[in-house]
Amino acid sequence: MTVALCTTSHSPLIGLHDPPPQVRAEVDGVLARARVFVEEFDPQLVVVFAPDHYNGFLYDMMPPFCVGAAASSVGDYGLPAGPLDVDRDAAYTVARHALGAGVDVAVSEDMQVDHGLVQPLTFLFGSLTAVPVVPVFVNCVADPLGPAVRARHLGAAVGAAVRELGRRVLVVGSGGLSHDPPVPRLAEAPPEVVERLKHGRNPTREQRAQRESRTVVAAADFAQGRGPYRPLNPDWDDLVLRSLAGGDFGAIDGHDNDWFVAEAGHSAHEVRTWLAAYAALAAQGPYDVRSSYYRAIPEWFAGFATTTALPRQAPAGDRARAVDVADGAR
């Protein structure tokens, strides 16, 4: 067994605008079991497919995909800031495989990452530097977006690359599922926001605090049924989880981009990170989902889910499928 998978939703509101204590405890338990899964796999490298929320990638140059050969966390929402332990050689191997497979990826020697990539590292390892990583940015919010199937192609190319590394590689997808938080859109933004979307990297501490406080207020409104945000869609989230578990990628990425927004909100495009991660796992052959958790959590603006999976050729004792499902969640 050389590849394992963990996908998880993220939310900058964790710890800032939490659901009732029993729900928070339930999620903490799920993430603790995911950590045990990862510890038992003992990865030598982690490839993280993650979005950005106009903290590291802006409209001065917005690639559809980017592989980080060096990266630092911006430390938004109180998360750790500073450099990640990026395996530069592995990053270039991944980039070359993707380009060789016809998937156009950019390469960054100074990638800035936000909570979308940092949270899964803290969930699973408690640190930015516990294990070498290859960060892979997937544009999920900035129009224009390519078709979702391109994320699958990216994941398949990355899966072929990690297969040749000869190391235990954990593939992580961070984002989704259904959610429609107040992420600005260029075509609808006032001039001052347009300027930030083009050149707003490295805001002051005060500017970042103002932005983040607005998100907390919006989440409070959403949890009370107020505001212009699309509701969470557990039925769509269930479709995504079932389709990925069964390897039926086309049930998700066979739709056009408008379908994602109509069904599950503008930020539902973050499921592209899950498509890429599962495609990387599928490049190793058939797989089995080991655990699958889901709960709609409006306080976090999230259809929150976490899954783990292994290649089917794992030892028989590892094939048992354990499913963690919240009460009434599905």
Tens-place pLDDT, residues 128-141 = 999 999 999 999 99
Q: Per residue in 188-197, pLDDT tens?
A: 888 888 888 8
Phi, psi of 116 (to 5 degrees): -60, -30
Predicted TM-score of the model (pTM): 0.93
Residue 327 confidence (pLDDT):
36
**CA atoms of 151 and 16, how far apart (whole Å):** 31
Q: Which two tokens stand for residue 66?
A: 């980017």
User: Is pLDDT of 317 > 50?
Assistant: no
**CA atoms of 141 and 67, how far apart (whole Å):** 17
97 noted as active-site residue: no
* Res. 208 pLDDT band, cuts 50 70 90: confident
**C-alpha 319: how far from chain center:** 25
* Res. 1 pLDDT band, cuts 50 70 90: low
Please report, as a single letter, which amino acid is at residue 93: T
User: Is pLDDT of 68 > 50?
Assistant: yes
Q: Mean pLDDT, to the nearest integer, of 238-251?
A: 98
Catalytic residue among 10, 53, 179, 266: 179
Q: Mean pLDDT, to the nearest integer, of 52-58?
A: 93
115 noted as active-site residue: yes
Q: Mean pLDDT, to the nearest integer, of 63-87?
A: 96
Q: Is 173 helix (H, G, I), strand (E, B) or coil?
A: strand
Q: Which two tokens stand for residue 196?
A: 């930030």
Q: Which residues contact 23 (CB under 8 A, 6 or more apart)?
A: 295, 297, 326
Catalytic residue among 53, 97, 115, 153: 115
Q: Which residues contact 58 (CB under 8 A, 6 or more apart)?
A: 197, 198, 199, 200, 201
* Res. 201 pLDDT band, cuts 50 70 90: confident
Q: Mean pLDDT, to the nearest integer, of 112-128?
A: 96
Per the model's pLDDT, the better-predicted residue between 308 and 223 turns out to be 308
Q: Which residues contact 231 (CB under 8 A, 6 or more apart)?
A: none
